[in-house]
């Protein structure tokens, strides 16, 4: 029969069958195919295995290949067909040996898998021209995670999704520890990527509705659109301990005492200092030193940036925290997310999404580190969707991210992962991944993702599209290498200043 790629053979059931492949080059692992079922008509299946066999004897093998006698046998698992109500139906009667097998056409694949006609365009279904669009609302409001080892395309994929969300007008707040997202403003100029744009049907584009905020102690204040000044009132003792790195238990005890004395009113860090000064204890001087350092860092301001500026209709706000110490980053994230969630609950900011890069630093798995931002992020993960506040959690160490947070994510995007602990975390946290898919995760080439979502009937393999805007990841790597290089000679102030100059001119060349 015309167009057939194979024929069913051997034992066939309603849920799986094997077929002889006519042309071994035309049928591949993970291909979508269709076969006729006497009761249900055309039903879609997926190739899960292909084997080459031959019935020539071992002595004949010594003569070399005998193409006439080669046989290619594929195994297919039935996915089903949509009934009149749009429900997926798996046949109850077996497929019949001798029936022809065909490639599934685009409409059938889109319909059976549950892909959207419109939505967040992530890329092409592996080895096809079929666009993978994900449902916008479920994406923004029900959390998503992107997990993969370093260099496999997490930030790039996040960039693709962010572009789509910006175009749909979804308010975004992007927590960017490495300063990789400022380049969303610039159209893609990467030659290799420009060449591949036609395949994906995209054109270069920069986004002018992206705004870059930096903390006041950032080395990049001069090129930001705004400085994020934090409200420093009523810092908890835990926050101060982490912020200042206070390890001495005596200092901690004095701090708890001082804050307890202040408890009934709103207090600033200066009030805490005054309170500690009034304590009669020799250990107070060490504590005061720590507290002064917090003041000097200049994170806090009497006129803090209104947090409702960070989640706005039609805007993506990037909080670029490059060059900010981790303990400051953690506190900033904690304070901002806490306030954003409060505002969202009162409907004082629109529904939107918080993008969290390096999530393992902010919501570590229990027993794998501590962060003051953890409680609020856990709350947003478990309650955010009720209030229309979504999270996009990105991490290269799935095993080190709070596993509850990963399992709360509706859409899970997994790129290449090889570390056995991380693979185990993915097996635990991602429902619906078969053992075969888990094996696949180890082999995924860069830029290829497995996407799991309740809206999709099966996990799908997606070749992530090229970015319309410039990807910032690579540029940052170069800057960080330079910084690392100069760290060795840190005592030399001249060199330090030289570094700042170099970073500036480099940045300006790239993005300025
Ligand atoms: N879908 C893609 N298309 C083209 N290049 C990609 C794609 N995904 C990743 N890359 C390339 O791989 C590099 C590493 O990706 P990146 O997202 O920065 O990795 P990480 O997982 O460490 O965040 C990028 O600089 C980019 O060149
Ligand atoms: Mg990255």
Compute CA distances 334 → 128, 321, 338, 377, 466, whole Å. 43, 14, 6, 8, 33
Q: Cα(413) to centroid of ligand 1, in Å? A: 14
**Percent of the chain residues past pLDDT 90, beyond the cut:** 76
Q: What is the DSSP annotation of 41-95?
A: EEEEEEEEEEEEEE---HHHHTT---GGGEEEEEEEEEEEEE-TTS-EE--SS--
Give the chain's end-to-end CA distance (angstroms, integer): 60
Q: Which of 9-13, 52-56, 289-293, 373-377 has the lowest mean pLDDT?
A: 52-56
pLDDT range class, residue 205, cuts 50, 70, 90 = very high
Q: Which is higher by pLDDT, 173 or 266?
A: 173
Nearest CA to ligand 1 atom 5: 447
Q: Is the pLDDT of residue 489 over 50?
A: no
Rounded mean pLDDT, 481-499: 36
How does pLDDT run across 19-39, given as a tens digit for each residue? 999 999 999 999 999 999 999
Atom from ligand 1 closest to the CA of residue 394: 23
pTM: 0.88
Q: Pick from 1, 3, 6: which is nearest to 95 by CA?
A: 6
Q: Give the number of the ligand closest to the Cα of residue 192.
A: 1
Strand 172-176 to 411-414 pairing: unpaired
CA distance 34 to 46: 8
Name all residues whose Cβ lies below 6 A of ligand 1: 148, 150-156, 193, 446-447, 464, 466, 471, 473-474
Strand 352-356 to 389-395 pairing: parallel
Q: What is the DSSP letter of 327?
A: H
Q: Pick from 286, 294, 304, 251: which is nearest to 270 by CA?
A: 294
How does pLDDT run across 284-338, given as a tens digit for each residue? 999 999 999 899 888 998 899 999 999 999 999 999 999 999 999 999 999 999 9
CA distance 511 to 499: 18
pLDDT value at residue 475: 47
Q: Is the pLDDT of residue 77 over 50?
A: yes
Question: Can you name the CATH fold of 120-124+128-225+302-464?
Answer: Rossmann fold (3.40.50)
Q: Is the pLDDT of residue 436 over 50?
A: yes
- Please, are residues 352 and 244 in contact by the beta-carbon 8 Å criterion? no
pLDDT value at residue 474: 63
Q: Is the pLDDT of residue 367 over 90?
A: no
pLDDT range class, residue 64, cuts 50, 70, 90 = confident
Q: Cα(88) to centroid of ligand 1, in Å? A: 35
Tokens describing residue 194: 């420009």
Q: Pick from 453, 452, 447, 449: which is nearest to 461 by CA?
A: 449
pLDDT value at residue 1: 59
pLDDT value at residue 483: 40
Q: Cα(448) to centroid of ligand 1, in Å? A: 10
Q: Is the pLDDT of residue 60 over 70?
A: yes
CA distance 96 to 107: 24
Atom from ligand 1 closest to the CA of residue 123: 1
Q: What is the DSSP letter of 234?
A: T
- Please, are residues 227 and 305 in contact by the beta-carbon 8 Å criterion? yes
Q: Cα(468) to centroid of ligand 1, in Å? A: 13
CA distance 244 to 291: 7
Mean pLDDT (the chain) is: 89
Q: Which of 29-33, 61-65, 220-224 has the lowest mean pLDDT?
A: 61-65
pLDDT value at residue 506: 31
CA distance 256 to 263: 10
Q: Which of 255-269, 332-346, 454-468 has the lowest mean pLDDT?
A: 255-269
Atom from ligand 1 closest to the CA of residue 192: 4
CA distance 238 to 5: 65
Nearest CA to ligand 1 atom 16: 153
pLDDT range class, residue 431, cuts 50, 70, 90 = confident
CA distance 368 to 310: 30
Atom from ligand 1 closest to the CA of residue 471: 25
Q: Is the pLDDT of residue 487 over 50?
A: no
Q: Cα(139) to centroid of ligand 2, in Å? A: 20
Q: Which is higher by pLDDT, 287 or 68?
A: 287
Rounded mean pLDDT, 435-443: 89
Q: Is the pLDDT of residue 507 over 60?
A: no
pLDDT range class, residue 101, cuts 50, 70, 90 = very high
Rounded mean pLDDT, 12-17: 97
pLDDT value at residue 353: 96
State the alpha helices, DSSP H only, in 298-430. Answer: 326-345, 359-362, 374-383, 403-407, 420-429
Strand 131-134 to 4-9 pairing: unpaired
Q: Which is higher by pLDDT, 203 or 247?
A: 203
Q: Is the pLDDT of residue 480 over 50?
A: no
Q: Pick from 36, 190, 180: which is nearest to 101 by CA?
A: 36
Tokens describing residue 278: 């009034």
Atom from ligand 1 closest to the CA of residue 466: 3
pLDDT range class, residue 447, cuts 50, 70, 90 = very high
Q: Is the pLDDT of residue 388 over 90?
A: yes
Burial of 188 (0-12, 13-18, 19+ CB in 10 A): buried
Q: Cα(136) to centroid of ligand 2, in Å? A: 23
Rounded mean pLDDT, 414-421: 96
pLDDT value at residue 494: 36
Q: Give the number of the ligand closest to the Cα of residue 176.
A: 2
């Amino acid at each position: 029969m015309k167009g057939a790629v194979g024929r069913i053979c051997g034992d066939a059931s309603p849920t799986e069958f094997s077929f002889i492949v006519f042309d071994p080059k035309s049928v591949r692992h993970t291909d979508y195919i269709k076969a006729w079922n006497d009761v249900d008509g055309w039903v879609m299946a997926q190739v899960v295995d292909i084997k080459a066999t031959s019935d020539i004897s071992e002595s004949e093998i010594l003569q070399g290949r005998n193409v006439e006698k080669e046989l290619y046998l594929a195994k297919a698992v039935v996915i089903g067909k949509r009934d009149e109500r749009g429900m997926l139906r798996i046949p109850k009667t077996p497929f019949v040996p001798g029936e022809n097998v065909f490639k599934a056409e685009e409409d059938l694949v889109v319909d059976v898998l549950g892909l959207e006609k419109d939505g967040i365009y992530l890329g092409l279904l592996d080895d096809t021209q079929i666009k993978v669009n994900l449902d916008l609302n479920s994406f923004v409001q029900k959390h998503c995670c992107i997990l993969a080892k370093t260099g496999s395309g997490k930030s790039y994929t996040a960039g693709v999704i962010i572009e789509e969300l910006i175009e749909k007008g979804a308010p975004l707040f992007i927590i960017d520890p490495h300063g990789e997202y400022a380049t969303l403003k610039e159209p893609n100029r990467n030659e290799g990527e420009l060449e591949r744009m036609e395949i994906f049907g995209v054109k270069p584009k920069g986004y002018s509705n992206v705004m870059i905020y930096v903390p006041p102690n950032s080395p990049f204040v001069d090129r930001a659109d705004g400085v994020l000044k934090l409200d420093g009132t009523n810092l908890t003792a835990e926050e101060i301990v982490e912020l200042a790195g206070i390890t001495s238990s005596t200092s901690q005890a004095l701090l708890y005492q001082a804050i307890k004395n202040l408890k009934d009113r709103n207090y600033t860090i200066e009030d805490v200092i005054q309170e500690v000064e009034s304590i009669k204890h020799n250990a107070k001087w060490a504590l005061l030193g720590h507290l002064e350092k917090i003041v000097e860092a200049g994170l806090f301001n009497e006129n803090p940036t209104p947090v409702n500026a960070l989640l706005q209709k039609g805007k993506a706000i990037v909080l670029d925290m490059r060059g900010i110490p981790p303990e400051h980053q953690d506190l900033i994230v904690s304070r901002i997310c806490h306030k954003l969630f409060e505002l969202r609950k009162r409907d004082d900011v629109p529904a939107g999404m918080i993008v969290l890069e390096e999530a393992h630093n902010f919501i570590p798995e229990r027993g794998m580190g501590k962060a003051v931002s953890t409680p609020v992020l856990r709350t947003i993960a478990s309650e955010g969707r009720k209030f229309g506040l979504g999270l996009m959690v990105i991490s290269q160490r799935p095993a080190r991210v709070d596993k509850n947070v990963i399992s709360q994510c509706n859409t899970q995007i997994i790129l290449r992962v090889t570390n056995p602990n991380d693979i185990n975390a993915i097996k635990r946290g991602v429902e619906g991944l078969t053992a075969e898919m888990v094996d696949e995760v180890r082999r995924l080439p860069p830029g290829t993702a497995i996407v799991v979502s309740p809206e999709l009937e099966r996990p799908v393999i997606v070749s992530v599209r090229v970015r319309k805007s410039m990807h910032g990841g690579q540029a940052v790597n170069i800057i960080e290498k330079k910084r690392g290089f100069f760290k060795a000679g840190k005592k030399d102030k001249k060199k330090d200043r030289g570094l700042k100059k170099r970073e500036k001119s480099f940045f300006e060349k790239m993005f300025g």
